């Protein structure tokens, strides 16, 4: 089937179902074959029909993406499995099953379920599904380990609603880690970079002999060193930038995975698929078959098979194919000079050491595949079904896209190194360490290590910083500490005009309005080149007192 015909099918489907608020009918039903679906009269559901496993391989790409968006936008109801009366957001049974999460207890802003749809939080800028969110959409990460957060001083049962695993009272400030809702723009390219980096780290690991130590480097990013002692024990004490789950090992034959985890701000999640399986259960009470089993109802809501394997593939692929951010640079000579100066100062003071401007995808790494080969248990894994592949550079996908250059390389200019860094002052730690197990005492040690923020698209996805409590980019820069303190101090030492120039540069890193095809545009969203020759020449010939002040 041609790509053009595939898109015609999508238009027909939209006209006959999606625009009218109906669900996505399987292909056989669309073409008039097979049994008629049950009557929808009186039903209040967002998704009338789910994909059956295997249909993800037979549907045209456009139809698969339309179904993925339908699932992401769906306002889930109790008539289709929305809610989880008898389980926590972690998937475990309630601490007190005598008080199910139903009726007036069906939603809870701290412990969840806390949203009707994914788009309810992921919708900015320009109301784009899959984007970031205002501070009102922030999530209380790990709040889902409670049944129903109440902070009731009379409640003494651990993790029911008011006291933690050790029986200590919790408050709004420490029941979970307060995190901003981040945008998923360019997600497929980001995950593929992380996969290639993981593969490179693992290839180095597999060459280490007993008694050896080797440097871990992926795409030019240094992750410290890994040793295998003469006793056959993996020593990860000098590995840098990876979370605990990627460093676990049991003897010589079970080495650390060294998986680069690009999702969650504490680098906790491997793939869009893992993120999807977890989030649908936590936030909506929609349980996938690959995580919770076929024909089972662990959450006790009377529904089974709430999200099929094919459904999860569809919504994961849809997220992976979201457009990439770009840059907005007005055609104002003063602004142009400031932006160019800001870019150079950004690199000179060391910001680009972690916020690496661009990383390469080679060996056709822009061909996104499901499932991720590094998925953990509880998610579809390689070999359990055949791979589904999508060319992220295809012109059929939402613009703008990244394209391979003459050398066969796609440059992903996301401004990140995919590493964890300690960026906090001692008193600014998050209350919980997401990378520890729930019942470990280390969970309560808190966290200061965060995945380097992807700066592409950051400027028009406020609020800022991991907690979303800053309203300006400047405040975020000034909050950097720990490993980032030297760069922050260098920023503070710049002349005022250069500090302003750095901010002006950051302001150009934006998500573009839907339909914008070029990645670098002016403030009317018309394509432009950067840097323009005249601005470079002006900067190079400026008097020393102007350049160096």
Per-residue pLDDT of the chain (549 residues; tens, 9 = 90+): 444 434 433 433 343 333 323 333 333 233 233 455 668 899 999 999 999 999 999 999 999 999 999 999 999 999 999 999 999 999 999 999 999 999 999 999 999 999 999 999 999 999 999 999 999 999 999 999 999 999 999 999 999 999 999 999 999 999 999 999 999 999 999 999 999 999 999 999 999 999 999 999 999 999 999 999 999 999 999 999 999 999 999 888 899 999 999 999 999 999 999 999 999 999 999 999 999 999 999 999 999 999 999 999 999 999 999 999 999 999 999 999 999 999 999 999 999 999 999 999 999 999 999 999 999 999 999 999 999 999 999 999 999 999 999 999 999 999 999 999 999 988 899 999 999 999 999 999 999 999 999 999 999 999 999 999 999 999 999 999 999 999 999 999 999 999 999 999 999 999 999 999 999 999 999 999 999 887 666 655 554 433 333
Q: Are 457 and 507 in contact (CB under 8 A)?
A: no
Of 334, 194, 336, nearest to 268 by C-alpha is: 194
What DSSP element (H or E) covers 411?
strand 410-412
Structure-token pair, residue 195:
């996969």
- Is 53 domain-assigned? yes
- Is 31 domain-assigned? yes
Cα–Cα distances (Å) from 128 to 57, 114, 405, 514, in that order, read: 27, 20, 28, 8
- Is 56 domain-assigned? yes
**Neighbour count for residue 493 (Cβ, 10 Å):** 10
Q: Are 433 and 443 in contact (CB under 8 A)?
A: yes
Q: How far apart are CA 347 and CA 455, in angstroms?
A: 14
Q: How far apart are CA 306 and CA 448, in angstroms?
A: 37
Of 308, 309, 285, 311, nearest to 298 by C-alpha is: 285
**Radius of gyration from C-alpha coordinates of the chain:** 24
Provide the domain count of the chain: 1
Task: Read off the pTM.
Answer: 0.91
Q: How far apart are CA 457 and CA 510, in angstroms?
A: 4
For the chain, the straight-line distance linking the first and the last C-alpha, in angstroms and rounded, comes to 62
- Is 133 domain-assigned? no
- Is 1 domain-assigned? yes
Q: How far apart are CA 186 and CA 398, in angstroms?
A: 10
**Neighbour count for residue 500 (Cβ, 10 Å):** 15
- Is 280 domain-assigned? no
Range of the domain at 17: 1-71
Beta bridge partners of 221: 218
177 sits in the region (left: phi over 0; alpha: psi -120 to 50; else beta) called beta
Q: Are 63 and 317 in contact (CB under 8 A)?
A: no
- Is 3 domain-assigned? yes
Torsion of CA 131, 429, 283, 169, to 10 degrees: -160
- Is 7 domain-assigned? yes
Beta bridge partners of 288: 307
| Strand intervals (E) in 130-278 | 139-141, 177-179, 213-218, 221-228, 234-235
């Amino acid at each position: 089937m041609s790509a053009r015909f595939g898109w015609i099918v999508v238009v027909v489907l939209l006209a006959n179902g999606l625009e009218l608020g109906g669900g996505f009918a399987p292909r056989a039903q669309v073409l008039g074959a097979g049994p008629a679906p049950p009557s929808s009269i009186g039903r209040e559901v967002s998704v009338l029909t789910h994909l059956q496993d295997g249909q993800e391989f037979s549907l045209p790409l456009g139809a698969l993406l339309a179904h993925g968006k339908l699932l992401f936008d769906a306002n889930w109801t109790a008539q289709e499995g929305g809610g989880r009366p008898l389980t926590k957001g972690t998937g475990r049974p309630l601490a007190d099953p005598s008080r199910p999460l139903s009726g007036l207890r069906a939603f809870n802003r701290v412990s969840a379920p806390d949203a009707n749809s994914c788009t309810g939080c992921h919708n900015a800028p320009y109301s784009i599904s899959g984007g970031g969110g205002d501070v009102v959409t922030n999530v209380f990460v790990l709040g889902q380990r409670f049944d129903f957060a109440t902070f009731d001083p009379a409640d003494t049962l651990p993790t029911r609603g008011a006291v933690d695993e050790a029986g200590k009272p919790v408050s709004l400030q420490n029941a979970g880690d307060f995190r901003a809702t981040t945008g998923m723009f360019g997600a497929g390219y980001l995950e593929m970079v992380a996969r290639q980096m993981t593969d490179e780290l693992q290839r180095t690991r597999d060459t280490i002999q007993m008694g050896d130590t080797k440097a871990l480097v992926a795409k030019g990013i240094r992750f410290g060193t890994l040793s295998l002692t003469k006793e056959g024990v993996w020593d990860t004490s000098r590995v840098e930038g990876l979370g605990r789950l990627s460093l676990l090992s049991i003897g010589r034959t079970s080495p650390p995975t060294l998986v680069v985890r690009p999702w969650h701000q504490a680098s906790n999640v491997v793939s869009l698929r893992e993120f999807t399986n977890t989030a649908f259960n936590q936030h909506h009470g929609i349980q996938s078959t690959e995580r919770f089993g076929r024909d089972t109802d662990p959450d006790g809501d009377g529904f089974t098979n709430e999200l099929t394997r094919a459904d999860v593939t569809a919504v994961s692929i849809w997220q992976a194919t979201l457009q990439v951010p770009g840059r907005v640079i007005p055609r104002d000579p003063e602004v142009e000079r400031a932006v160019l100066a800001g870019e150079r100062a950004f690199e000179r003071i060391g910001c680009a050491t972690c916020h690496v401007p661009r990383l390469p995808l080679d060996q056709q790494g822009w061909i996104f595949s499901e499932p991720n080969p590094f998925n953990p248990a509880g998610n579809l894994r390689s070999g359990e079904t055949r791979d589904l592949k999508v060319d992220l550079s295809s012109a059929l996908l939402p613009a703008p896209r990244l394209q391979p250059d003459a050398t066969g390389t796609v440059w992903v200019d996301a401004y990140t190194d995919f590493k964890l860094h300690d960026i906090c002052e001692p008193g600014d730690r998050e209350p919980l360490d997401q990378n520890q197990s729930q019942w470990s005492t280390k969970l309560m040690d808190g966290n200061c290590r965060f995945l380097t923020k992807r700066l592409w698209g950051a400027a028009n996805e406020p609020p800022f910083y991991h907690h979303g409590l800053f309203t300006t980019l400047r405040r975020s820069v000034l909050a950097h500490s720990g490993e980032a303190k030297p760069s922050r101090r260098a920023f503070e030492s710049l002349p005022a005009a250069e500090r302003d120039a750095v901010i002006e540069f950051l302001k150009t890193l934006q998500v573009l309005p839907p339909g914008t095809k070029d990645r670098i545009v002016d403030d009317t969203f018309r394509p432009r080149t950067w840097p323009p020759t005249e601005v470079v020449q002006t900067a190079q010939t400026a008097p020393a007192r102007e350049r160096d002040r």
